[in-house]
Amino acid sequence: MKRKIAAIFAADIAGYSRLVAEDEEETLRRLASYREVIDDFIAKASGRIFNTAGDAVLAEFPSAVDAVRCAIDIQESLRTRNMAYPPSRQMSFRIGITIGDVVERNGDLLGDGVNIAARLEGLAEVGGICVSRAVHEQVANKLSVQFADIGAQEVKNIPTPVHAYMVAMRREDGSYSKPQLKKTASKMAAAPVWMWPLVVAVVSIVGIVVTGFLYNTKLKQTATAAAPPAVTPSAAPSPTPAAMAASPTPATQTAKAPMAAMPPSNAGAAMAPMPAPSPAPAMTGKLAAESVPFINERVRNYLASEYSAAGDYKAFALNIGGFTGSALNQPNEEAARNAAVEQCQKRADAAQSPRRCEIYAVGNNVVYAHGKPPMPPAPYFRHDAVTERAFVSKDFPIVRDPQKVRLENMFVPAAKSRSVALGPGGQYFMVLGASSAEDAARRSLESCGAIAGVPCVVVAIDDNFVVPIPTLLRITGLFYPATNAQIGADARGEVVHKLADAMGWNAVAVGTAGRPGLGLKAADEQTAVNSALADCAKRDSDCHVIAIGPFTVGPIN
């Protein structure tokens, strides 16, 4: 580990949970598109992204000037993109920037500098930028930027107040907006001293009145409870078990507080992998080696034999990247837990895995908090001579160029069996050197699903793409027909059924009324597209293709 001074940039989407709950696929597609913009600006400003989590981005810059200039460019670019959407569907970032002393470990940055940047981001306006006083002092005379001083701010987990400034963002006419200052507790300290006795007296009187009111109300409620209940219509029915179990909160939002449970708008369509992620219930019960996710066959055999036969105290830890650790014959349960996690984490750190290790089992009991990863139905992949072709990294869909370079450097030369699974927002996971293609596919899907929060798709096995890769239209995401909002709700089930076992090239088109047209089992992409459009035109108007194979598609820019 080494220490250094850096300008830390933290960005996060305002209202991301709501956007995902309303339309997950469209939100994830736009997030991937907006991230391309952000990543490009950061790279051009000599910045480096050192961590991401869901919709959050953390980056470092060599100077505060570079960081602020980059943040302004990002906000202005995204503001222009947002104009194409109604206010309720606009995706706006908040950005916080500070200069601080940080610790670098395996490419990640840790320390108060990172924490303060994240807190400043929380203070920023939607679509705005908030900076610390250190950044303001560095930038004030070097950039033609206007600031609003919002004073010392008390922020979570930071012992001393942080003096912060809002950046005034430029309007379309070239003028600058006036930041809306947030009211903070620190401003109460500026009240005249003579006012405090009055405040205390008023608060005391209000407290006495409220207490008396609540006491009398409680007496009335108690008396009412003793009487026979009256039959009255309920103003709001209690949530059903199904509604209480559903949650739109993606499992990937580790930095977000979960939303209140609510049923997704498409709860009635449950015929295919659901793209709306919901936290899986914690895994409990007896340890069954064949049910443990992420691990290879060697570890599975170890769990079934040596680990299961060992006496207490023992524990087993893993992370979603497939790294594991175990501890047998420990003096107590706590020692077993600590030793297993430490061993797993050392292995993960040595391989530069960004995923943290967690306890999966204590003794022979499963205590894993995250449940089973979401998986698609089996078979996980199929060889189809009509669509299968040689793997080429530059043609890998959805992901950005740095990820394509990583696939070229790691996946292509790796030993068989190997697999890459892809999620709807560009999440992907590769498994290399597995015991079989089936094992590689299962493990890549488990890890990708745990990261994405929804079932992923196996895109490549060994040297070949095992799904059709469209070229006539631009790939925008993964296609979930059971929940696709462009298809009429009453037609989704039929689309799912007809696509289930269709080999060859398949395409889906829809018109203005959401009536689908299908082109199935075609010998080439163009034939599938033409068939889908012709089928759609029989029952709808202004038809256009929305999916080819497992991918959603749009016009090529």
Comparing 64-68, 270-274, 506-510, the range with the smallest average pLDDT is 270-274
Asked, as a colleague might, if the bond just before 204 is cis with ω within 30 of 0, I would say no
Residue 41 shares a structural domain with residue 167 = yes
CB-based contacts of 446, cutoff 8 Å, min separation 6:
293, 294, 320, 373, 375
Helix/strand/coil (H/E/C) assignment for every residue in 69-137: HHHHHHHHHHHHHHCCCCHHHCCCEEEEEEEEEEEEECCEEECHHHHHHHHHHHHCCCCCEEEEHHHHH
Q: Mean pLDDT, the chain, as a whole number?
A: 81
Arithmetic mean of pLDDT, 396-401:
91
Chain segment 69-98, per-residue pLDDT in tens: 999 999 988 988 888 788 888 999 999 999
How many other CB atoms are there within 10 angstroms of residue 281's CB atom? 11
Residue 511 shares a structural domain with residue 456 = no
142, 162, 188 - which closes a domain: 188
Within a domain: 312: yes
pLDDT of residue 17: 82
SS3 195: helix
Residue 343 shares a structural domain with residue 408 = no
Within a domain: 371: no
The position carrying tokens 């709807």 is: 424
Chain segment 310-351, per-residue pLDDT in tens: 988 999 999 998 899 999 999 999 999 999 999 999 888 877
- By DSSP bridging, strand 108-110 and strand 129-132 are unpaired
Residue 109 shares a structural domain with residue 27 = yes
Using a 10 angstrom Cβ sphere, with 0-12 exposed, 13-18 middle and 19 or more buried, the burial of residue 130 is buried
Within a domain: 219: no
Comparing 42-51, 146-155, 427-436, the range with the smallest average pLDDT is 146-155
Under the banding of pLDDT at 50, 70 and 90, the label for residue 177 is low
Under the banding of pLDDT at 50, 70 and 90, the label for residue 33 is confident
pLDDT of residue 170: 65
The position carrying tokens 């925008």 is: 476
Within a domain: 425: yes
The verdict on pTM exceeding 0.85 is no
Residue 446 shares a structural domain with residue 505 = no
139, 155, 188 - which closes a domain: 188
Chain segment 414-461, per-residue pLDDT in tens: 888 999 999 988 899 999 989 999 999 999 999 999 988 889 999 999
Arithmetic mean of pLDDT, 390-394:
95
Within a domain: 534: yes
Q: Are 360 and 288 in contact (CB under 8 A)?
A: no
Q: Which of 505, 515, 512, 516 is nearest to 548 (CA)?
A: 505
Angle between helices 24-44 and 64-82 (to 10 degrees): 150
pLDDT at position 309 over 90 = yes
Of 169 and 170, the structure prediction assigns the larger pLDDT to 169
Residue 488 shares a structural domain with residue 528 = yes
Chain segment 7-26, per-residue pLDDT in tens: 999 999 988 888 888 888 78
pLDDT of residue 280: 58
138, 160, 188 - which closes a domain: 188
Residue 394 shares a structural domain with residue 512 = no
- Cα angle 434, 437, 442; round to 5: 80
Counting DSSP H helices and E strands in the chain, the numbers are 14, 23
Within a domain: 532: yes
Residue 95 shares a structural domain with residue 164 = yes
pLDDT of residue 157: 75
Token pair belonging to 56: 């959050």
CATH, residue 145: 3.30.70.1230
Of the chain, the percentage scoring pLDDT greater than 70 comes to 79
Token pair belonging to 536: 């759609």
Helix/strand/coil (H/E/C) assignment for every residue in 296-341: CHHHHHHHHHHHHHCCCCCEEEECCCCCEEEECCCCCHHHHHHHHH
Arithmetic mean of pLDDT, 291-308:
93
pLDDT of residue 3: 86
Of 373 and 266, the structure prediction assigns the larger pLDDT to 373
Distance CA 295, CA 315 (A): 16
Distance CA 489, CA 486 (A): 9
List phi, psi (to 5°) of 324.
-135, 165
Q: Are 454 and 424 in contact (CB under 8 A)?
A: yes
Residue 91 shares a structural domain with residue 171 = yes
Within a domain: 241: no
Residue 22 shares a structural domain with residue 107 = yes
Residue 148 shares a structural domain with residue 38 = yes
Within a domain: 41: yes
Residue 404 shares a structural domain with residue 358 = no
Name the domain count of the chain: 4
Domain limits at 536? 474-554
